[in-house]
Amino acid sequence: MMVAARNRPMLRILGFFICASFIYLTFRDLWLNHKRKPKLGFVKRNGTQFVVDDMPLYVNGWNSYWFMAHAVDEQSRNLVGEMLEAGAKMGLTVCRTWAFNDGGYNALQISPGRFDERVFQALDHVIAEAKKHDVRLLLSLVNNLQAYGGKSQYVKWAWQEGVGLSSSNDSFFFDPSIRNYFKNYLKTLLTRKNSVTGIEYRNDPTIFAWELINEPRCTTDVSGKTLQDWIDEMTGYIKSIDDKHLLTVGLEGFYGPENPKRLTVNPEQWASALGSDFVQNSNSSNIDFASVHIYPDHWFHNQTYEEKLKFVVKWMQSHIEDGMKELKKPVLFTEFGLSNLNKDYEPSQRDKFYRIIFDVVYKSAKRRKAGAGTLVWQLFMEGMETFGDDFGIVPHEQDSIYKLMIEQSCRLAKVTGRRNEHKLKKLCSHRH
């Protein structure tokens, strides 16, 4: 008993040192991991190239529009992290997703100026998860289409409040009350302090860029003046609040009635009568890069598969040329896809379609031209078929597409000298 009593102080000291050592080793590992991970820098533009930390960046990425909608629900929130992890494992660097849901189910903006904090926290979660997986986000701010509210919801709100000038959805672009609704939303979003990271959105380099509107069209003014005035006003307003992030319009890429390319490059005659013009809209002084979509099987009615492939190359090269000569800005192909509902569809057709698009961007990157990258439409996870469409892909379920996307990540990384970055070095050396 006396021996045990004598040893008690020694045991206490030993216990203290064991505890202290455990704490030291734990915090040392955390500190070393923190030190190893470089601080994320904002993506900037240098002429026709994206740059980050003074090195060129060519984008290989994807669309998952559904992130915020799934992050609202505890049961489906995990899918956001799983999708980001899957994208990161393919070397993908940017994901485009919706930062809007106006009116309707789980709306972010319930009515003009009224926001659901629960949904805002879901968007906070999306941004925090992206940061964790080293993926940047291209955040789209409103929809030209009706899905998730869109410009038609803003018009409804104006009518409900008795201030609407017109019932036309295009009044979104010219009605002063609606412009103020949208500006209020922009200010609220840009100055939002993330509840997870504590960083205001406008100060967060996880956000690659803002996209003003998804696929804008203003068919009531084919001249394009109405849409152009709106673009100039809204981009100026965004830059007055946030001058750190890049900004794009969100165009499909069609040439307007005054552009001679409407006759030689547009898919069909209707494309020049949508109130938009790729060059004019992208030339706005506050627009940092141009955006283009690629959907030949939606845009043509009587073309064969091979004819569509020829169009794709011509379409992309034309816009890259515009980026070099007219705009002197990067051109990012922010959506592309081949429908699996085509009557002659075979999976190998999609492989070839992707390959051709990736090759055009790779060749542009090697020559330091304006083709700045691509974003596949769209990727999702197993069990999400209701959120999929005729373009959607679960990556690891389609091995050939999965390998193509990894190959593109490695090719672009080699061009920019980023292949030695830890994540890419491991991915690309394993591929060989």
Q: Give me 276's structure tokens.
A: 């938009």
Using alpha carbons, select from 220, 238, 257 the residue that is nearest to residue 183.
Answer: 238
- In DSSP terms, 102 is beta-bridged to 109
Kind and range of the H or E element at 207?
A: strand 207-211
Q: How far apart are CA 134 and CA 52, in angstroms?
A: 13
Q: Are strands 371-376 and 49-52 parallel, antiparallel or unpaired?
A: unpaired
Is 335 tagged catalytic?
yes
What is the identity of the amino acid at 394?
Answer: V
C-alpha span between 136 and 209 (Å, rounded):
9
Q: How many CB atoms are located within 10 Å of the residue 432 CB?
A: 5
Catalytic residue of the set 129, 215, 252, 407: 215
Residues 60, 373 contacting (CB under 8 angstroms): yes
Task: Please answer whether residues 430 and 90 qualify as being in contact, where contact means their C-beta atoms are separated by less than 8 angstroms.
Answer: no
Kindly give the pairing relationship between strand 94-98 and strand 136-140: parallel
**What is the widest separation between alpha-carbon atoms in the chain?**
102
Treating both helix axes as pointing N-terminal to C-terminal, what angle do 399-416 and 422-431 enclose, rounded to 10 degrees?
120
How far is the C-alpha of 364 from the C-alpha of 356, rounded, in Å? 12
- In the set 129, 211, 252, 335, the catalytic residue is 335
Pull the structure tokens for residue 115.
């926001």
What is the rounded distance in angstroms from the CA atom of residue 117 to the CA atom of residue 413? 39
Residues marked active site are found at 215, 335
